[in-house]
Structure 1
């Protein structure tokens, strides 16, 4: 089972160099939920925009 986390941080708090495998990060950026929902790019977890919306509106289970 995979676990996903929805942190509430500012862009300044994110430092890809501190990732466990920084060489595998090709790009990172903030995605407003509407933009995430509308993108034609492949984003994993499939349905991520819906999941984020649900967690924000109802809280985590």
Structure 2
């Protein structure tokens, strides 16, 4: 019977652990969010300037290759 109580205690410990993990995750999440945001922004920003540059100076392939 003592073992059963141990299992219950372990479950409680598991419940407490997840509560601490979320606190730590937010720190890592902002980092990932920033990278994701930058990735999406870069893709969108690069697509816009790239098209504009290509349409504005298509005869100057030296600039984009820079």
User: Above 0.5 in TM-score?
Assistant: no
The TM-score normalised by the length of structure 1 is 0.22
With normalisation by structure 2, the TM-score equals: 0.21
Bigger CA radius of gyration: 2
Which is helix-richer, 1 or 2?
Answer: 2
